[in-house]
Structure 1
Amino acid sequence: MELGQIGTAMVTPFSEEGSIDRDLLEKLIEHLIGSGTDSLIVCGTTGESPTLNHAEKAVLFASAIEIVNGRIPVIAGTGTFNTAETIKLTKTAESLGADGIMLVTPYYNKPDQKGMYAHFSHIAKETELPLLLYNIPGRSAVNMLPETVIALSKLKNIRAVKEASGSLDQMAEIITKTDSGFKVYSGDDALTLPLLSIGGEGVISVASHVVGNEMQQMINAFKSGNTKEAAKIHRILLPLFHAVFSAPNPIPIKYALQKIGIETGGVRLPLMSNGEGAAEFDQVWDAFQKQMKLEH
């Protein structure tokens, strides 16, 4: 699975009526491809996947694949708490030409480790596409332990994990005990550099919607051995990483995109955008821009 260094967990652009807006989607994708995104993750949490039905997800997959036209990988978020439904949606994404699949840990029904292994292994048998596991205990209410990820990594098409547990110890154990072809990505922008320092591959990012190029600079500096430069960029970006989660995701990042001239519409209920986090983001964004000007 070639996700590159930065996969962007893409927001879903909505029209004023709340439907998927293809014109805005195309503008967003062109912006992302031109500003540091190596791969697109479509219909993840940032894409408001819980509010999208099967037909809408299929439209979004097909539209993104058509717009991208092979320039970068398109990874379809098909994971749900329903194994049969996840398989159905995964087959839809595969038939539409997705390059890979992202599978979140089942949320709400809280399976144990054996249940999670069975869930993911059943899905893996039903597709030829490479699979990216997604561990996010803060949203799913379950933590997929390293031993489960390690066992799943032995299946031929489970090739990476997006780790959003916040535990570098957990990430380090996975890196140590999986083969070199299995890749660990940070699910938290702020842990990108710390994860790289222990052997991680990169990040599935939200902030890359607006600072993808700067994040690439940080990663490239680290990988070229210029750790001081990487650390400096990390410190400059850190307040911004926190600001994009100052309100429920993706409210702040949609506001941030609007601020740089990329319109993606509002959010769907039960999320509501009432301007929360806007003042904090404005302050952080202005400070970031000033700091970058000083650096150049």
Structure 2
Amino acid sequence: MEFGRLIAAMVTPFDANLQVDWDQVGKLMDYLIDEQANDSLVICGTTGESPTLTEEEKLKLFAYAVKHANGRCKIIAGTGSYDTAHSIHLSKEAEKLGVDALLLVAPYYNRPSQEGLYQHYKAVAESVSIPCILYNVPSRTGVNINADTTIRLSHLPNIVATKDCADLGQLTQIVNGAAEGFRVYSGEDNMTLPVLAIGGYGIVSVASHVIGKDMKNMINCYLQGNVREAAQIHAKLHPVFKGLFECPHRVPNPTAVKYALNARGVRVGGLRMPLMNATEEEGRFIASLFE
């Protein structure tokens, strides 16, 4: 199954009472597909504030996204957690709702061994028939899916890709050692071009909420052999890539991107606690990225 090169890890719009704003979910999807050139959408990933969404909300979001997308893009459901049994349960329910694939974050907090990671992913993948994408983000989970484990998992029939935030050395090992057809997506916007250069496939992005067309142009330039132009676009976009994650006090994602969307009239509301909305100082910094 083709998910494209540019995948948005979609924020979850909330209303004034911090309930899911269903009208804005649809408008945001249209904006990400039609105006920001995203090929696929991750629903209920970390950027979607998955830790604060109830299971009922997640399932309703999956169902809504599938219906609203209506084949215009692939819908990837974030169904991973630190509990293998619950990950299996949610993955099965998401499959029934018609999502195209699953994004499975590494079990966080309990920090399993590499064998534990392998067995976790194997169990989840074997419980469904749709494609599964690994998600390695050590800074959030406290555990790294190392290259050997990812390569081992790549040989399971429906584990088709990884979204990986590891360094270029680890990603190079995966690109060169994984099963044929296994795709490596960067999980860090600022690494999009470098990961393409080592043979990666694309990006699961936060920044594509606001600079998706430019990112797609950069990717296409590189693929067409216009490396110098791709590098120039990368240099232009780099302050945004870094700034969305390194604004004052290093506010956690998706604080900055939600502020940026609201500022440009794409109403996505605030954040559920324990996340906090951007302060005035942080807001000024975020706004300066787009001046």
CA distance in 1, matches of 2:203, 2:282: 23
> Does the 8 A contact of 2:218 with 2:233 survive in 1?
yes
> Does the 8 A contact of 1:243 with 1:277 survive in 2?
no
- Post-superposition offset of 1:179: 2.7
CA distance in 2, matches of 1:187, 1:277: 23
1:16 aligns with 2:20: no
> Which residue number in structure 2 is paired with residue 59 of structure 1?
60
Give structure 1 regions of 4+ aligned residues with deviation exceeding 3 angstroms. none
1:108 aligns with 2:113: no
Where does the alignment leave 5 or more consecutive residues of structure 2 unmatched?
Answer: none
> Which residue number in structure 1 is paired with residue 289 of structure 2?
284
- Post-superposition offset of 1:283: 1.4
- Post-superposition offset of 1:180: 3.0
> Does the 8 A contact of 2:151 with 2:179 survive in 1?
no
> Does the 8 A contact of 2:66 with 2:98 survive in 1?
yes
CA distance in 2, matches of 1:99, 1:28: 19
> Which residue number in structure 2 is paired with residue 291 of structure 1?
none
CA distance in 2, matches of 1:213, 1:137: 29
> Which residue number in structure 2 is paired with residue 273 of structure 1?
277
1:189 aligns with 2:189: yes
> Which residue number in structure 1 is paired with residue 123 of structure 2?
122
Superposition TM-score, scaled by structure 2 size: 0.97
Q: Tell me the secondary structure at the aligned position of residue 277 of structure 1.
A: helix
Superposition TM-score, scaled by structure 1 size: 0.95
> Does the 8 A contact of 2:256 with 2:278 survive in 1?
no
> Which residue number in structure 1 is paired with residue 148 of structure 2?
147
- Post-superposition offset of 1:243: 1.4
CA distance in 2, matches of 1:179, 1:144: 16
Cα deviations by residue, 1:68-122 (Å, 9 ceiling, x for unpaired): 0111100000000000000010011000000000000000000010000000000
Report the residue type matching 2:102 in the other structure: I
> Does the 8 A contact of 2:244 with 2:286 survive in 1?
yes
Any residues of structure 2 matched to 1:22-61 within 5 Å, and which?
22-34=22-34, 35-61=36-62
- Post-superposition offset of 1:274: 3.9
CA distance in 1, matches of 2:48, 2:244: 14
Cα deviations by residue, 1:248-268 (Å, 9 ceiling, x for unpaired): 110100111112210001000
CA distance in 2, matches of 1:256, 1:220: 25
CA distance in 1, matches of 2:283, 2:105: 29
- Post-superposition offset of 1:279: 1.4
CA distance in 1, matches of 2:40, 2:118: 26
Report the residue type matching 1:202 in the other structure: G
- Post-superposition offset of 1:282: 1.4
Cα deviations by residue, 1:164-205 (Å, 9 ceiling, x for unpaired): 12x001000000011331000000000000000010000000
> Does the 8 A contact of 1:124 with 1:131 survive in 2?
yes
> Does the 8 A contact of 1:188 with 1:205 survive in 2?
yes
> Which residue number in structure 2 is paired with residue 293 of structure 1?
none
1:176 aligns with 2:176: yes
CA distance in 2, matches of 1:18, 1:64: 19
Q: Tell me the secondary structure at the aligned position of residue 134 of structure 2.
A: strand
> Does the 8 A contact of 2:259 with 2:278 survive in 1?
no
Q: Tell me the secondary structure at the aligned position of residue 185 of structure 2.
A: strand
Query: Between the two proteins, what is the percent identity of the paired residues?
Result: 48
Q: 1:250 aligns with which of 239, 254, 261?
A: 254
> Does the 8 A contact of 2:38 with 2:212 survive in 1?
yes
CA distance in 2, matches of 1:277, 1:155: 44
- Post-superposition offset of 1:277: 2.3
> Which residue number in structure 1 is paired with residue 228 of structure 2?
228
Q: Tell me the secondary structure at the aligned position of residue 46 of structure 1.
A: helix
> Which residue number in structure 2 is paired with residue 259 of structure 1?
263
